[in-house]
Amino acid sequence: MAELKKFTDNVSGYVAEAVARQIRHQLLGEDLRRHEEEQGAFSEEELTEARERIFGTDGPGSQTNTP
């Protein structure tokens, strides 16, 4: 508990948000697996478009990143 208080004064809110984020992550993973089972694997183009929508064109793995 003391470790959490280093990050926030609202421990219960912090924990609730962490649990909600984990549940969303798991549900999304299940949806993606179900989609691939029904429709086949995602193409490289689909994966690239998804990354751009999630991270933007300068996000992780983007080839347009500049140092």
14 CB contacts (<8 Å, ≥6 apart)? 4, 7, 8
Q: What was the pLDDT predicted at 10?
A: 93
- On the question of pLDDT at 67 being above 70, the answer is no
Is the pLDDT at 47 greater than 80? The verdict is yes
Is this prediction's pTM over 0.75? Answer: no
Cα–Cα distance between 40 and 22 in angstroms, integer?
A: 26
Distance of alpha carbon 57 from alpha carbon 51, whole angstroms: 8
- Which residues, other chains included, contact 31 with Cβ-Cβ below 8 Å and sequence gap of 6+? none
Helix (H) or strand (E) holding 62: none
Q: State how far the Cα of 63 lies from the Cα of 56, in Å rounded to an integer.
A: 11
